[in-house]
């Protein structure tokens, strides 16, 4: 993702890639102080350090890392009191719209529901962070607990998410397919351009499209 994001920034005349700290490298606090925004796609273990260092300079953070437990989610909440923090398990605009569309399933909440996701064979977490977010939003919409998302791993699939709504008479399927990883990089850079204009708070990619939830 780092390489994808660097390429998207390179092609964007409004943005400049200023600092890409590497594991084990000495921290350059002078460079860090000049940044407008951080974009972090790394690992759950790296999150605390990223938020701590960004907050020293009141720099907003866009974070796309997945596999977070309650501990990391609490960290996002804590630091969002000091700086703007935008975290989304999926930075694509299509999935942001899909999450909103799930609200309409409230009208058929008596149906059976099942989420299924497919990802490349190198993906570390399962079910995907996107499937977990879709499940949370779906359960909220239909007002009941649902079976865990099915995770399929294989080949080089960038990410497919399907939501099945099933009754005895019909099956409705919502489906999103990421055609490449650039989609996540583009979403995160768009989010970064938006986040620099926001007050401290915890945001999601949906807020870039629809405005912050009240
Ligand atoms: N939100 C979205 O839309 C979205 C889309 C795609 C992926 N993701 C998520 O983004 C994350 C990264 O994905 P990826 O495919 O780019 O993974 P990756 O290929 O494993 O890259 C992660 C990078 O972060 C670095 N890193 C990890 N932990 C670190 C630490 N503690 N300190 C310093 N550097 C650290 C790694 O450095 P080393 O090489 O030294 O380990 C590596 O360069 C995953 O959680 C993935 O699920 C999210």
User: Which position among 30, 48, 119, 186 bears the catalytic label?
Assistant: 119
156 and 115: one domain? yes
29 and 108: one domain? no
Does the beta carbon of 137 lie inside 6 Å of ligand 1? no
115 and 126: one domain? yes
186 and 205: one domain? yes
Does the beta carbon of 38 lie inside 6 Å of ligand 1? no
119 and 193: one domain? no
ω into 89 cis (within 30 of 0): no
Angle, to 10 degrees, between the axis of helix 129-142 and the axis of helix 93-101?
Answer: 20
Nearest atom (ligand 1) to Cα of 124 = 47
In the annotation, is 176 catalytic? no
pLDDT at 214: 61
* Beta strand ranges found along 66-208 (DSSP E): 84-87, 112-119, 150-153, 160-166, 171-177, 201-203
Give the span between the Cα atoms of 84 and 60, in whole angstroms.
Answer: 5
pLDDT at 83: 98
Count of domains forming the chain: 2
pLDDT at 5: 98
62 and 111: one domain? no
**CATH code where residue 23 lies:** 3.40.50.720
195 and 168: one domain? no
68 and 145: one domain? no
8 Å CB contact between 50 and 86? no
In the annotation, is 213 catalytic? no
73 and 110: one domain? no
Q: Which domain holds residue 112?
A: 93-177
204 and 147: one domain? no
Name the pTM for this structure.
0.91
Calculate how far, in angstroms, residue 174's C-alpha sits from the geometric centre of ligand 1: 28
**CATH code where residue 101 lies:** 3.30.360.10
Calculate how far, in angstroms, residue 201's C-alpha sits from the geometric centre of ligand 1: 24
pLDDT at 85: 98
104 and 71: one domain? no
43 and 79: one domain? yes
Over the chain (214 residues), what is each successive 10-residue block's mean pLDDT? 97 96 90 96 96 97 95 98 96 96 98 98 93 97 98 97 98 97 97 98 96 75
Does the beta carbon of 2 lie inside 6 Å of ligand 1? yes
pLDDT at 212: 79
Report the relative pairing of strands 171-177 and 201-203 from DSSP bridges. Answer: unpaired
**Nearest protein Cα to ligand 1, atom 34:** 23
């Amino acid at each position: 993702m780092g390489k994808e994001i660097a390429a998207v920034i390179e092609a964007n005349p409004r943005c400049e890639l200023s600092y890409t700290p590497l594991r084990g490298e000495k921290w350059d606090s002078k460079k860090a102080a000049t940044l407008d925004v951080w974009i972090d796609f790394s690992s759950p273990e790296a999150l605390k350090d990223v938020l701590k260092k960004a907050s020293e300079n009141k720099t907003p953070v866009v974070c796309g890392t997945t596999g977070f437990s309650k501990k990391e989610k609490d960290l996002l909440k804590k630091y969002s009191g000091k700086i703007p923090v935008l975290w989304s398990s999926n930075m694509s605009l299509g999935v942001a719209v899909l999450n909103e569309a799930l609200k309409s399933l409230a009208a058929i909440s008596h149906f059976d529901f099942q989420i299924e996701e497919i990802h490349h064979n190198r993906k570390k977490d399962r079910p995907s962070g996107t499937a977990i977010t879709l499940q949370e939003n779906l359960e909220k919409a239909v007002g009941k607990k649902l079976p865990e998302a099915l995770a399929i791993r294989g080949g080089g699939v960038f990410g497919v998410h399907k939501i099945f709504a099933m009754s005895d008479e019909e099956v409705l399927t919502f489906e999103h397919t990421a055609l490449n990883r650039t989609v996540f990089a583009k979403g995160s850079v768009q989010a970064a351009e938006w986040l620099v204009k926001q007050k401290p708070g915890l945001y999601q990619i949906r807020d870039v499209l629809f405005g912050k939830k009240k």
